[in-house]
Amino acid sequence: MRLYLIRFFLSFILTATLINQGKSAAQADEPKGFVIKGNVKNADGDFWEFLITDFIKAKHLVGVPIDKNGNFIKEIAISAPQDLYLSLNHQGIPVFAVPGDTLIINWDAAKFNETFRITAVSSVPSRQDEIDLVLKLYQSYWPKTLDMFKIVQNREIAGNEKMQQVQALFNKYCSVINQNPKSKYVAKVLADQYYFFLLRFVEKINAQERNKNANQFKQYRLNLDSLNDAALKYGCREDLLNENVFAFSPNYRSYIENQVRSNNPFSEVSLANQGPANKEYNFTLGNGYAGLSGLYLSNIIMDWYLTNSIITGYSDYGYENSEKAYQKFKDDILSRSYRDTLERFHDKIQRLRSGTQAPVFTLKNTDGKNVSLSDFKGKVVYIGFWGIYCNPCINEINQYAEKIHQKYNDVVFINICVDADEQSWQKKLKSLKLNGINLLAKGWTKNPVCQAYNVSSISHHVLIDKNGKLIDNVAPDLGSLMDDNNVLDQLLKM
């Protein structure tokens, strides 16, 4: 592939002026971290939480304890810029941290909007300007962005009209960015918005148009005409595999995953002299092959993709399928940091293979009493990890839970809520009328039970036999148990 001089020149400007990511691939070996601290008045609890992005497993939840005086401080290890979503005042307020930052956050819970402040203390110039820019974009346009989700999903609106509205909203984001002084991470702010719009809106509109007419449809694109800075524009291209943007934009990393995985896999094979044969598609293995073929131009991005796909595969697609992918691709990962990350994870995940003893746990039920997994030895146990803010979880419960519980009255159904406080959990249970053993595991990914069962997304189901051994740590959902001769039927016959 030829490299045009203008591309090289713009790339040089972007790299030299905005961010030096020459060793971005190695930064995972050199975590510096950041500090988040401050004070809250009239706190309604003894901790608050935020989501933080990562190179592996996308996001995880961090709890921040609040002392009796309302003070808090937390140090988090990061090796590159990461996005934070502050769970405050029933919002997910976005900000981003870079290694070496100290973010000072103060608010009064009784009058949040009037008192909420973030101050950045950093050796990196203009960090306060960047924080203020992200907050301004959120406060000005996030409600309109939420409305855009509904517009894009509305099948009565024509594709070109949807795209016009998407482009107009994106132009407003660009207008605010144009007004902001140049700084080291303004390229990140733009890239985050650009690839968010591509992934959440433009790709969905194109998919809708493709479904209408696969042979002839218009491929919509998001243009950057309203952006003033040419170097910033270069960092935002659909067809560019960019290690600099990869290092600082989680939304770009999500976009890469989507692009690689959007190739339609073959789900049926015709073997020589045997004719057609159906084979269950191994998504983790397929994702790995897609990464090798689509990302070979960048070793560091390919290493990240393989590592992330295998690790998340154990949670999403089960042990057996992901173990095949691990054995197939582990030697293709060249980066020491990613290879070591995968090896450490693999050592821990061995406890979740089929036939091993299920991790024991003890949690509180709705009466505040301790309930342990060992209480149900001699019974088949089906665990469902769910959340009150998880719409797919609620839909699954409403549609299937009562029917499945009646169908399998000899099975112990344990329902573990991971995303709520006790009061919200109890209130939701009353409206759901969810039978079975209801338990609460506050803190989700930081809760020992969720860590033990590798629950990084919900809903998540686990099947355990009468001897307390794991049958499947990524068991079929409730809807699948409506089928005849399903895995639960087979287990009860044993």
User: Using alpha carbons only, how large is the chain's radius of gyration in Å?
Assistant: 24
Pick from 247-251, 313-317, 472-476: least confident: 313-317
pLDDT for 150 equals: 94
Query: Does position 6 have pLDDT exceeding 60, yes or no?
Result: no
Most confident of the following: 13-17, 271-275, 315-319, 353-357: 353-357
pLDDT at 274: 56
Cross-strand partners of 96: 83
Report CA-CA distances (Å) from 67 to 35, 72, 272. Answer: 17, 6, 69
- Using CA atoms, how far residue 112 sits from 20, 43, 74, 136, in Å, is 37, 11, 21, 16
**Where do the DSSP E strands lie in 411-455?**
412-417, 437-440
- What CA–CA distance (Å, rounded) separates 308 from 291? 11
Residue 14 has pLDDT above 70, yes or no: no
CA distance 154 to 450: 36
Per-residue pLDDT of 56-105, as tens digits, reads 876 777 878 899 999 999 999 898 999 999 989 989 999 999 999 999 99
Question: What does the pLDDT read at residue 21?
Answer: 39
Say if residues 337 and 56 touch (Cβ distance below 8 Å).
no
This prediction has a pTM of 0.75
Q: Which residues of 211-233 are buried (b: 16+ CB within 10 A; e: fewer)?
A: eeeeeeeeebebebeebebebbb
341/485: higher pLDDT = 341
Question: Are 492 and 380 spatial neighbours (Cβ–Cβ below 8 Å)?
Answer: yes
362-493: CATH topology is Glutaredoxin (3.40.30)
With a cut of 90, say whether residue 1 has pLDDT above it.
no
Architecture of domain 31-124 in this structure? Sandwich (2.60)
pLDDT one-digit tens code per residue, 344-391: 889 888 888 889 999 999 999 999 999 999 999 899 999 999 988 777
Residue 22 — pLDDT band, cuts 50, 70, 90? very low
Mean pLDDT of the chain: 85
